[in-house]
């Protein structure tokens, strides 16, 4: 297959499955009245998408994809701000909750922007792969924190993994760098672990109902 077409397929696959992931997070969030993405991951996502849509825009197709991600993440953000204070009311006041979010968002934005400039990475690939790995780990932390699947689902986990795989395969074949290769493999492993843990929680819930 022609390299151009293969990269296009990977780009479209990555964009589509991440769009599906975000839509499923939004849908599950409204159903459960819970936010579906951990705060740090959400702040990093929104920062990355803003920077690479408006400050360092990519090619036309990727710019459209990134902008769609940004719009969907804004809905996830609204869910976090709406449902989050109730979940954390035992450990922090609403004022502290919102303040911690603003601080985290500001720090995330500055780190990604400076990382882009210092590494001369106007495509944002190093920031994207590193925060994707972080997100995978934070989904597991969210599962442990709640002890249930509120705001999460197997479909979300699988679509996230597939979307990441499209990007990982493309970078491994055509733009191979040791750091991105390591982060890609690590993300795949953590995504699989997340799926296994979700499955166990679902099985425990089913067995509890039967019992």
In 3-state terms the chain splits into helix, strand, coil percentages (rounded to 5) of 85, 0, 15
Nearest residue to 36 (alpha-carbon basis) of 181, 115, 133, 145: 145
pTM: predicted TM-score of the whole model, two decimal places: 0.94
2: pLDDT strictly greater than 80: no
210: pLDDT strictly greater than 70: no
Rounded to an integer, the average pLDDT of 4-25 is 95
60: pLDDT strictly greater than 70: yes
H helix runs in 119-177, sequence order: 125-146, 154-174
211: pLDDT strictly greater than 60: no
pLDDT of residue 108: 98
Q: Cα dihedral angle (17, 21, 27, 33), rounded to 10 degrees?
A: 180
Tens-place pLDDT, residues 152-206: 999 999 999 999 999 999 999 888 899 999 999 999 999 999 999 999 998 887 7
Rounded to an integer, the average pLDDT of 148-154 is 95
Q: What percent of the chain has pLDDT over 70?
A: 97
């Amino acid at each position: 297959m022609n390299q151009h077409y293969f990269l296009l397929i990977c780009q479209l696959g990555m964009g589509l499955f991440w769009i599906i992931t975000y839509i499923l997070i939004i849908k599950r969030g409204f159903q459960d009245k819970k936010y579906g993405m951990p705060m740090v991951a959400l702040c990093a996502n929104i920062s990355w998408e803003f920077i690479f849509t408006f400050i360092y825009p990519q090619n036309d197709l990727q710019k459209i994809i990134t902008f769609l991600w940004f719009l969907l993440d804004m809905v996830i953000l609204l869910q976090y701000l709406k449902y989050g204070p109730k979940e954390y009311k035992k450990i922090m006041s609403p004022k502290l909750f919102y303040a911690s979010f603003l601080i985290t968002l500001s720090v995330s934005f500055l780190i990604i922007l400076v990382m882009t400039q210092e590494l001369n990475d106007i495509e944002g690939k190093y920031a994207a792969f590193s925060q994707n790995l972080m997100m995978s780990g934070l989904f597991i932390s969210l599962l442990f924190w709640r002890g249930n699947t509120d705001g999460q689902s197997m479909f979300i986990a699988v679509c996230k993994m597939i979307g990441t795989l499209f990007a990982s395969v493309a970078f491994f074949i055509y733009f191979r760098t040791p750091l991105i290769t390591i982060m890609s493999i690590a993300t795949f492993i953590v995504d699989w672990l997340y799926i296994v843990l979700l499955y166990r929680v679902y099985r425990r819930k089913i067995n509890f109902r039967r019992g």
